[in-house]
Structure 1
Amino acid sequence: MSGAHRRDGRPVVLALMMMVGVLALVLLVRPEEPESPASAPAPTDPSVTGPSLPTPSEEEFCAGFRRLAASQSEYAAAPDQRGVELLRAAADDLVDLGVPPTMTLPARGGYHTVVAGIYDSIGLSLERAAVGAPDEPVANEDAAFSSFLAEYCPA
């Protein structure tokens, strides 16, 4: 994958535990009244959606995100080389899958934060463009991604 690069000397365990906590929180939080999928407009203008990426369905994306969360939990339990390989494969697969057209640019920024943290925990980095996130962070990215997950990927 072209978006991930090797980086040595990072505190793996702390970053991993923080990401496990974020993933657990995001996957378990549900809105009181979920919005219908029709309420989120699908971006159609390429200048609004960012770089051209594959466009999986919300269900496909959520399944990939859950696989990544499961791989991260396994890695947290046994942070060995096999765990690193499984975690990287799950992260690579999810990034390669792309993002659903209903995921807004701010949500893509929050998605980048989560996945880049996972890559960082295994000594890699991820470019924002790899997930269609804007070049510069925007306000409320993490909240936007959490809202996306709550709406489309309920636990």
Structure 2
Amino acid sequence: MTLKEEFATRNFSIYGQWTGVICIFLCFAVGISNLFHVSLLILFGALCVASSFIITFIEVPLLLRICPTSAKFDTFMRRFTTNYTRAGIYGAMSLVQWISVIPVLGGASSLIAAAVLLLVAALFYLLAAVKGQGFVGSKTLGGQGVAQMII
């Protein structure tokens, strides 16, 4: 199945997964850029960078097979296999970045972009869950049997 055919299925979990992939790059870039502030934004920037790594392992299941990780980490990552749990983790990461917008903690910064895109991904996964669509991983990202082929 090509990427175009995956998007044509109108399964919102595919949209959520690809939005999550965009979140990986955005959270990493925005998080790094906010590490150079002299305020609490450093903390939120670090959390944004950490979120990008968590999203990487959630959205690209092939990495759990090829990267040396602990059994505890693998167990934690495997919790996010349903649309509801993915919507929850994206919603929590979005909430953390929305908190960084509070003027006392740092005010408006580029972390708003990460908060908005994380919220969009959460909404895609929530919409898929509410519509009763099962989670379908993109073949391009190592879903649907690709990860099982690697020994």
TM norm. shorter chain > 0.5: no
What TM-score does the superposition give when structure 1 sets the normalisation length? Answer: 0.42
Structure whose alpha-carbon radius of gyration is higher: 2
TM-score under structure 2 length normalisation: 0.42
Tell me which protein shows more helix as a share of its residues: 2
Instruction: Report 1 or 2 for greater relative contact order, CA contacts < 8 Å, sequence distance ≥ 6.
Output: 1
